[in-house]
Amino acid sequence: MSDLYTRKFRPKLKHIIAFILLIISLGLFFNGFKRASRVTSRLNPEGFVFDDSEIRKNRGVLFKADLCSGKLKDTQKDEIIDFKHDVKGFFGDREVFISRTHTGGYQFAAVKLYSSEYEKLLNGEEVTGYFSDEYSDDLKEFASKMGQYYEDESVIPAERCSELGIMVVNRKKELFSFLWGVPFLIAGAILIRKAGDPFFYEPVGISE
Element (H, E) at 8: strand 5-9
CA 132 to chain centre: 9
Domain ranges of the chain: 10-201
Give the separation between CA 29 and CA 192, rounded to whole angstroms: 20
pLDDT score, position 56: 79
Global pTM reads 0.78
Please, what's the b/e burial string for 161-185 (b: 16 or more CB within 10 A of its CB; e: otherwise)?
bbebbbbbbbbeebbebbeebeebb
DSSP output for 66-123: -B-EEEBTT---EEE-EEEEE--GGG--EEEEEEE-TTS-EEEEEEETTSHHHHHHHT
> pLDDT tens, 48-106?
444 445 577 888 888 888 999 999 888 878 899 999 998 876 777 999 999 998 778 89
| Tens-binned pLDDT, residue by residue, of the chain (208 aa) | 456 667 677 778 888 899 999 999 999 999 999 999 888 876 655 434 444 455 778 888 888 889 999 998 888 788 999 999 988 767 779 999 999 987 788 999 999 998 999 999 999 898 999 999 999 999 999 999 998 989 888 899 999 998 999 999 998 999 999 999 999 999 999 998 888 777 666 666 554 4
What's the chain's length in residues? 208
Give the separation between CA 16 and CA 32, rounded to whole angstroms: 24
